[in-house]
Amino acid sequence: MNETEQLLEQVATRAHNSARAHRKALPAPLGAGEIARAEGIVGFPLPPLLARLYTQVGDGGFGPEQGLLPLRRAVAVYRAQRESGWRWPEGVLPVADFGCAMYACVDCRSGTAQVLLFDPNPGEPDLAWSVDTPSLAGWLRGWLDGTAWFCAESGLGEEEDLEFAPWEEFRSRI
Protein backbone atom coordinates (compact mmCIF):
# COMPACT_ATOMS: atom_id res chain seq x y z
CA MET A 1 0.00 0.00 0.00
CA ASN A 2 1.47 3.36 -1.01
CA GLU A 3 1.26 6.65 0.91
CA THR A 4 -1.80 7.91 -0.97
CA GLU A 5 -3.70 4.68 -0.37
CA GLN A 6 -2.77 4.78 3.32
CA LEU A 7 -3.94 8.39 3.56
CA LEU A 8 -7.23 7.57 1.84
CA GLU A 9 -7.76 4.65 4.20
CA GLN A 10 -7.10 6.86 7.24
CA VAL A 11 -9.47 9.56 5.96
CA ALA A 12 -12.17 6.97 5.21
CA THR A 13 -11.83 5.42 8.68
CA ARG A 14 -12.09 8.78 10.40
CA ALA A 15 -14.96 9.90 8.17
CA HIS A 16 -16.97 6.74 8.82
CA ASN A 17 -16.24 6.79 12.56
CA SER A 18 -17.28 10.44 12.81
CA ALA A 19 -20.47 9.83 10.84
CA ARG A 20 -21.32 6.86 13.06
CA ALA A 21 -20.62 8.89 16.23
CA HIS A 22 -22.90 11.69 15.03
CA ARG A 23 -25.52 9.20 13.83
CA LYS A 24 -25.36 10.59 10.32
CA ALA A 25 -24.85 8.74 7.08
CA LEU A 26 -21.75 9.65 5.12
CA PRO A 27 -22.73 10.71 1.59
CA ALA A 28 -22.12 7.95 -0.93
CA PRO A 29 -18.99 8.11 -3.09
CA LEU A 30 -19.39 9.50 -6.59
CA GLY A 31 -18.86 7.63 -9.81
CA ALA A 32 -16.20 8.47 -12.37
CA GLY A 33 -18.90 9.93 -14.62
CA GLU A 34 -19.87 12.46 -11.97
CA ILE A 35 -16.23 13.55 -11.62
CA ALA A 36 -15.96 13.89 -15.42
CA ARG A 37 -19.16 15.98 -15.54
CA ALA A 38 -17.87 18.32 -12.83
CA GLU A 39 -14.53 18.66 -14.62
CA GLY A 40 -16.37 19.51 -17.83
CA ILE A 41 -18.34 22.24 -16.08
CA VAL A 42 -15.35 23.90 -14.39
CA GLY A 43 -13.00 23.35 -17.33
CA PHE A 44 -10.12 21.65 -15.54
CA PRO A 45 -9.32 18.22 -14.09
CA LEU A 46 -9.48 17.58 -10.37
CA PRO A 47 -6.20 16.55 -8.78
CA PRO A 48 -6.06 12.75 -8.43
CA LEU A 49 -6.20 12.79 -4.61
CA LEU A 50 -9.25 15.07 -4.56
CA ALA A 51 -11.03 12.92 -7.16
CA ARG A 52 -10.25 9.80 -5.13
CA LEU A 53 -11.66 11.39 -1.97
CA TYR A 54 -14.93 11.94 -3.80
CA THR A 55 -14.97 8.50 -5.47
CA GLN A 56 -13.63 6.37 -2.61
CA VAL A 57 -14.64 8.09 0.65
CA GLY A 58 -17.81 10.05 -0.05
CA ASP A 59 -19.34 13.09 -1.67
CA GLY A 60 -18.21 15.47 1.05
CA GLY A 61 -19.39 15.75 4.63
CA PHE A 62 -16.07 14.69 6.16
CA GLY A 63 -12.92 16.60 6.97
CA PRO A 64 -12.17 19.98 8.57
CA GLU A 65 -14.94 22.24 9.88
CA GLN A 66 -18.24 21.13 8.30
CA GLY A 67 -16.31 18.80 6.00
CA LEU A 68 -15.58 18.76 2.33
CA LEU A 69 -18.26 20.35 0.24
CA PRO A 70 -20.28 17.98 -1.90
CA LEU A 71 -18.77 18.19 -5.38
CA ARG A 72 -21.86 19.81 -6.95
CA ARG A 73 -21.76 22.49 -4.24
CA ALA A 74 -18.02 23.05 -4.78
CA VAL A 75 -18.63 23.49 -8.51
CA ALA A 76 -21.55 25.86 -7.87
CA VAL A 77 -19.49 28.00 -5.46
CA TYR A 78 -16.58 28.06 -7.95
CA ARG A 79 -18.85 29.22 -10.78
CA ALA A 80 -20.58 31.83 -8.59
CA GLN A 81 -17.27 33.20 -7.34
CA ARG A 82 -15.83 33.35 -10.88
CA GLU A 83 -18.80 35.55 -11.80
CA SER A 84 -18.48 37.72 -8.69
CA GLY A 85 -16.41 40.86 -8.26
CA TRP A 86 -13.73 39.02 -6.28
CA ARG A 87 -11.61 38.04 -9.29
CA TRP A 88 -11.64 34.35 -8.38
CA PRO A 89 -8.61 32.58 -9.93
CA GLU A 90 -9.02 29.94 -12.60
CA GLY A 91 -8.52 26.38 -11.42
CA VAL A 92 -9.03 27.09 -7.70
CA LEU A 93 -11.86 24.92 -6.39
CA PRO A 94 -13.40 25.64 -2.97
CA VAL A 95 -13.51 22.41 -0.97
CA ALA A 96 -14.43 23.42 2.59
CA ASP A 97 -16.51 26.25 4.03
CA PHE A 98 -14.85 27.76 7.12
CA GLY A 99 -17.68 30.24 7.74
CA CYS A 100 -17.62 34.05 7.53
CA ALA A 101 -17.22 33.71 3.71
CA MET A 102 -13.89 31.90 4.17
CA TYR A 103 -13.09 28.82 2.08
CA ALA A 104 -10.29 26.29 1.93
CA CYS A 105 -9.59 25.80 -1.77
CA VAL A 106 -7.52 23.37 -3.80
CA ASP A 107 -5.35 24.80 -6.54
CA CYS A 108 -6.14 22.22 -9.19
CA ARG A 109 -3.29 23.48 -11.38
CA SER A 110 -0.68 22.91 -8.69
CA GLY A 111 1.33 19.70 -8.94
CA THR A 112 0.81 19.11 -5.23
CA ALA A 113 -2.81 20.33 -5.14
CA GLN A 114 -1.83 23.04 -2.69
CA VAL A 115 -4.54 24.26 -0.37
CA LEU A 116 -5.28 27.98 -0.34
CA LEU A 117 -7.29 29.99 2.13
CA PHE A 118 -9.75 32.50 0.72
CA ASP A 119 -10.66 35.14 3.28
CA PRO A 120 -12.43 38.17 1.80
CA ASN A 121 -12.81 39.84 5.18
CA PRO A 122 -9.84 42.22 4.75
CA GLY A 123 -11.94 43.76 1.95
CA GLU A 124 -9.25 43.76 -0.73
CA PRO A 125 -9.14 40.95 -3.33
CA ASP A 126 -5.33 41.02 -3.45
CA LEU A 127 -5.22 40.29 0.29
CA ALA A 128 -7.89 37.58 0.25
CA TRP A 129 -5.63 34.71 -0.87
CA SER A 130 -2.98 32.92 1.15
CA VAL A 131 -1.29 29.53 1.19
CA ASP A 132 -2.78 27.28 3.86
CA THR A 133 -0.80 24.10 3.16
CA PRO A 134 1.59 23.21 0.31
CA SER A 135 -0.37 20.05 -0.55
CA LEU A 136 -3.81 18.51 -0.19
CA ALA A 137 -2.16 15.43 1.33
CA GLY A 138 -0.49 17.61 4.00
CA TRP A 139 -3.76 19.42 4.69
CA LEU A 140 -5.53 16.10 5.24
CA ARG A 141 -2.71 14.84 7.48
CA GLY A 142 -2.98 18.00 9.59
CA TRP A 143 -6.69 17.31 10.02
CA LEU A 144 -6.10 13.65 10.86
CA ASP A 145 -3.41 14.29 13.47
CA GLY A 146 -4.95 17.49 14.89
CA THR A 147 -1.97 19.74 14.13
CA ALA A 148 -3.62 21.98 11.52
CA TRP A 149 -4.53 25.55 12.49
CA PHE A 150 -8.25 24.80 12.09
CA CYS A 151 -8.15 21.92 14.60
CA ALA A 152 -9.31 22.97 18.07
CA GLU A 153 -6.77 20.64 19.68
CA SER A 154 -3.86 22.37 17.91
CA GLY A 155 -4.54 25.68 19.67
CA LEU A 156 -3.20 27.50 16.60
CA GLY A 157 -6.47 29.02 15.41
CA GLU A 158 -6.77 30.91 18.68
CA GLU A 159 -3.56 32.87 18.28
CA GLU A 160 -4.14 36.42 17.18
CA ASP A 161 -0.86 36.57 15.25
CA LEU A 162 -1.50 33.50 13.09
CA GLU A 163 -0.53 34.63 9.61
CA PHE A 164 -0.39 32.83 6.31
CA ALA A 165 1.96 33.53 3.43
CA PRO A 166 0.26 35.43 0.62
CA TRP A 167 -0.43 33.38 -2.49
CA GLU A 168 2.02 34.84 -4.97
CA GLU A 169 0.31 33.39 -8.07
CA PHE A 170 -2.96 35.25 -7.48
CA ARG A 171 -2.40 38.06 -9.97
CA SER A 172 -1.21 35.75 -12.74
CA ARG A 173 -4.26 33.50 -12.38
CA ILE A 174 -7.11 36.03 -12.60
pTM tops 0.75, yes or no: yes
Domains of the chain and CATH, by start: 3-173 (3.40.1580.10)
Which residue type sits at 78? Y
Alpha helices (runs of H) in the chain, residue ranges in sequence order = 3-21, 32-42, 48-52, 71-83, 136-145
Q: What string of pLDDT tens digits covers the 174 residues of the chain?
A: 799 999 999 999 999 998 888 888 899 999 999 999 999 999 999 999 999 999 999 999 998 888 899 999 999 999 999 998 778 999 999 999 998 889 999 999 999 999 999 998 877 777 889 999 999 999 999 999 988 888 765 455 444 456 788 898 888 887
- The DSSP symbol for 55 reads I
3-state class (DSSP) for residue 125:
helix
Phi and psi (nearest 5°) for 120?
A: -80, -5
